[in-house]
Amino acid sequence: MSGDAPLQSAASKETYWRTLLTFGVTRLVIASVLLLYLAFGVNQSALLQSQRQVWQVCMAYLLMGVVFVVFAARYRRRFFLQLVFQVSVDLFVTSLLYAAAGGAKSGLAILYLFPLAGSAILAPLTLALFFASIATLFLLLDSGYRILSLASDTVFAQTGLFGAAFLASVFVINRLAAKLIRQEALATRRGIDLQVQEAINRLVIADMGDGILVVGAGGEIYTGNPAAGQMLGLTMPYAGSLRRLTDLTALMPIADAFFAWRLRPGEDTDLNAGLAKFVAIKPADEPPGLGAQRSIRREVVTHLKLHFATVETGGVSDDRTLIFLQDVSAIENQAQQLKLAAMGRLTASVAHEVRNPLSAIAHATTLLSEDFENGPQARLLKIITDNVARLDRIIEDILKLSRKAQLQHEPLALAGFFEETIEEFREMHGIAADVIKTAFLHPYRIRFDPLHLREVIVNLLANALRYASKSPGSIRIFAVAGSLNRVELHVQDDGPPLTPEVRAHLFEPFYTNSSQGTGLGLYMARELCRNNGGMIDYEYRLESADGIQGEVSGRFVITLAAAGRD
């Protein structure tokens, strides 16, 4: 070590000064032990023969040790000079005690290891070996002097062994200390690099428009960026309480997509593979204790595009999955406007170009059926009649989508509306009066086109009737107050819940798993709700129809604009 050359960084300086301070504290311990030895030592000790002088040396050594500690703690300058001065004082005091105690036979040569080890740790190898050579030379000179003085009990070979041990110890300790210091410096540099990289990553992720969730294999949410919290209406710190996707009913669509993706590993490892999942999220209150926050924004439902990527941890911990969330609500709204414009042009052509031929086919089939009332021809004519009627229903559904909602200046009372609609539906399908039950409808008034709302409710009731048990109360309709001046209509039945595969395509046109449907009912319901400023989705909720917390169950939820309460 030359000057302060090894102290190349603040971390290295702190390490050296901390070691020097420890070195000083050890010196105080050794000086205190020597004083105790003088106070309670046996009278035969050669060291006690000149007890007064030795006592003064030890006291002076203790006081100097205190000064060295204060300097190492308070005056952190000129490290090299402090180290050389302290080691020199240690060697001088140890030599005085060694000579006063009678040389090699006293056993005090072991005290040299303390300053020599300190110099080996903190000083360059050359300087440390120099100090070891000085100590060895003094031992040899003392032994030679005692031999010449006819001290017959002096062992010269023992002194040589002490010197060799000092040199070897200094070399080994210096090499080990240098290696440890280099490793500590490397670890410090890498720690700083990691902190800088983490700060950069946090800044980049925090400013990203897309949301990022880090989840475990069981759906545990480990962290997420602010954009994800904004999209989901949740508090997303970088480190927080562990929660699961399945703990929050609002996140069930993401949970379904995540677990469906895990069943097909490797399907979506490439973010540009075009295998993204699309879900609709309706932010809701989190369960107590999870730090819920409601997102105040105009969109009632957020449409998200999901990508999944697995983070391999190499066995260090459980594997993590990154879920990339992209808000496509604005894109879908633009596509909806373009689709409605194209639908208007299409329906004008459909009304004239398709309905007229269908009417001619239906009329011709009716005439032919008068001549073929029985036999195979009658069966074929019935097939033609049924398919003509089916095509006519499809055309009628498409025409309904093109009808713009009329702005209702008069609020629509839910209680009166459902009384008429449900009564008509019961008569049309011939079901008992207690199959469909309603609740909490009376106080609510909404703004929605009555004809469009009737089409939506009839489609949902027909779908529920197809899967419900038709027992009393098997179909339930009730209203609850939503956020942002909204009213939620819940349509629920006791049939089996939808599977994730069916739910993923639930509102797609012409998608159906029933031979009796056209696949346009739910699609038409969603489009009519959008035309009226509302939204419909299939959701999992905890609350039951009577408002009591129960098991998670699926139901259709229609979100409508409120117009006051009765």
Q: pLDDT digit string (tens) for 33-81?
A: 878 877 775 444 555 555 667 777 888 888 888 888 888 888 878 888 8
Mean pLDDT of the chain: 76
Q: Which one is predicted more confidently, 375 or 65?
A: 65
Taking the C-alpha atoms of residue 100 and residue 112, their distance in angstroms, rounded to an integer, is 15
Which two tokens mark 100?
A: 């006063």
Give the highest mean pLDDT range of 42-46, 494-498, 551-555. 494-498
Q: Which one is predicted more confidently, 460 or 357?
A: 460
Task: Please answer whether residues 519 and 510 qualify as being in contact, where contact means their C-beta atoms are separated by less than 8 angstroms.
Answer: yes
For residues 213-241, give the mean pLDDT: 74
pLDDT of residue 4: 40
Confidence check: pLDDT of 475 > 60: yes
- Tokens 């880090």 — which residue? 214
The kind and range of the H/E element at 326 are: strand 320-327
> Which DSSP state fits 411?
P
Kindly report the CA angle at 509 between 504 and 514, in degrees rounded to 5? 75
- Tokens 């100590």 — which residue? 135
pLDDT in tens, 174-200: 888 888 878 877 888 888 888 888 777
**Pick from 294, 339, 280, 304: which is nearest to 556 by CA?**
280
Confidence check: pLDDT of 289 > 50: no
Local structure of 535: helix, strand or coil: strand
pLDDT of residue 85: 87
pTM beyond 0.75: the answer is: no
Least confident of 286-300, 338-352, 414-428: 286-300
**Pick from 558, 488, 538, 552: which is nearest to 246 by CA?**
552
**Pick from 331, 324, 325, 277: which is nearest to 299 by CA?**
331
Give the highest mean pLDDT range of 228-237, 402-411, 425-434. 425-434
Q: Is residue 203 very low, low, confident or very high in pLDDT (cuts 50, 70, 90)? A: confident
Confidence check: pLDDT of 409 > 70: no
Taking the C-alpha atoms of residue 521 and residue 390, their distance in angstroms, rounded to an integer, is 13
Confidence check: pLDDT of 420 > 60: yes
Task: Please answer whether residues 295 and 244 qualify as being in contact, where contact means their C-beta atoms are separated by less than 8 angstroms.
Answer: no
Q: Which one is predicted more confidently, 478 or 531?
A: 478
Taking the C-alpha atoms of residue 367 and residue 67, their distance in angstroms, rounded to an integer, is 122
Q: Is residue 476 very low, low, confident or very high in pLDDT (cuts 50, 70, 90)? A: very high
For residues 331-345, give the mean pLDDT: 68
Taking the C-alpha atoms of residue 554 and residue 545, their distance in angstroms, rounded to an integer, is 12
Task: Please answer whether residues 394 and 520 qualify as being in contact, where contact means their C-beta atoms are separated by less than 8 angstroms.
Answer: yes
Kindly report the CA angle at 125 between 123 and 127, in degrees rounded to 5? 65
Name residues whose C-beta falls within 8 Å of residue 487's C-beta, 6 or more positions apart in sequence.
Answer: 414, 444, 446, 479, 480, 481, 559, 560, 561, 562
Name all contacts of 546-555 with Cβ < 8 Å and 24+ positions apart. 546/439, 547/440, 547/480, 552/249, 552/252, 553/492, 553/497, 554/492, 554/497, 554/498, 555/490, 555/491, 555/492, 555/493
Taking the C-alpha atoms of residue 172 and residue 178, their distance in angstroms, rounded to an integer, is 10
> Which DSSP state fits 259?
H
Confidence check: pLDDT of 102 > 80: no
The kind and range of the H/E element at 208 are: none
pLDDT of residue 298: 38
Name residues whose C-beta falls within 8 Å of residue 528's C-beta, 6 or more positions apart in sequence.
Answer: 400, 401, 405, 449, 452, 453, 455, 456
Helix axes 51-74, 10-40, angle to 10 degrees: 160
Name residues whose C-beta falls within 8 Å of residue 431's C-beta, 6 or more positions apart in sequence.
Answer: 465, 470
**Amino acid in position 97:** L
pLDDT of residue 47: 52
